[in-house]
Amino acid sequence: MSDKDRRQKLILDVIRDQSVSTQDALSNALREHGVGTTQSTLSKDMRELRVMKIPNAGGGFQYGTPNAAAEQASRIQGEQLLGRELSDFVTTLDVAGNTLVVKTLTGHAQGVCEAIDQAGWEEVVGTIAGDNTIFVLCRSEGALAELRARIEEMRSA
């Protein structure tokens, strides 16, 4: 592997693993890994790798690749879809042990359930949906309380 290939792989590793928002910060991160580079070489590498600024969770921007940008857009779109599904179709929430029982308008449980599954929430072990009812199995009663509060907040937003 050439020095350029190693440097470019490290650039991709750094922007995947860290929130880096400036070329100076990226250059410093590379230097910490034993790779020094000039600003012009770094700019050229970033252009070749198609590195771009993408939105981050804090509302700012950081460097990422087109794939990361698409994943971020998909995640944001998924959150918006979930919020919409919860506010439009969920009628009530109830609890049975570690299970959150989500009632929906008739015919909408499958769509809401899929949106919950796509959210990838850590509290959720699994889901089952019927026509107007979803069972969301949670890891613990504490996790259930957190999930219920999050869903209530998203429903009212």
Residue 32: what pLDDT? 94
- Which range among 1-10, 79-88, 120-129 shows the weakest confidence by mean pLDDT? 79-88
Q: Looking at residue 58, what is its pLDDT?
A: 65
Residue 14's pLDDT is 93
Residue 57 pLDDT more than 80? no
Average pLDDT over every residue of 40-64: 83
The per-residue pLDDT for 132 is: 94
What tens digit of pLDDT does each residue of 90-106 get? Answer: 999 999 999 999 999 98
Query: What is residue 79's predicted lDDT score, i.e. its pLDDT?
Result: 73
Q: Three-state secondary structure along the chain?
A: CCHHHHHHHHHHHHHHHCCCCCHHHHHHHHHHCCCCCCHHHHHHHHHHHCCEEEECCCCCEEEECHHHHHHHHHHHHHHHHHHHHHHHHEEEEEEECCEEEEEECCCCHHHHHHHHHHHCCCCEEEEEECCCEEEEEECCHHHHHHHHHHHHHHHHC
Claim: this prediction has a pTM higher than 0.95: no
Question: Which domains does the chain show, CATH number per domain?
Answer: 3-64 (1.10.10.10), 77-156 (3.30.1360.40)
Is residue 55 pLDDT above 80, yes or no? no
State the pLDDT at residue 75: 61
Q: What is the mean pLDDT of the chain?
A: 88
Residue 98 has what pLDDT?
Answer: 95
Lowest-confidence region among 16-25, 74-83, 118-127: 74-83
Is residue 76 over pLDDT 60? no
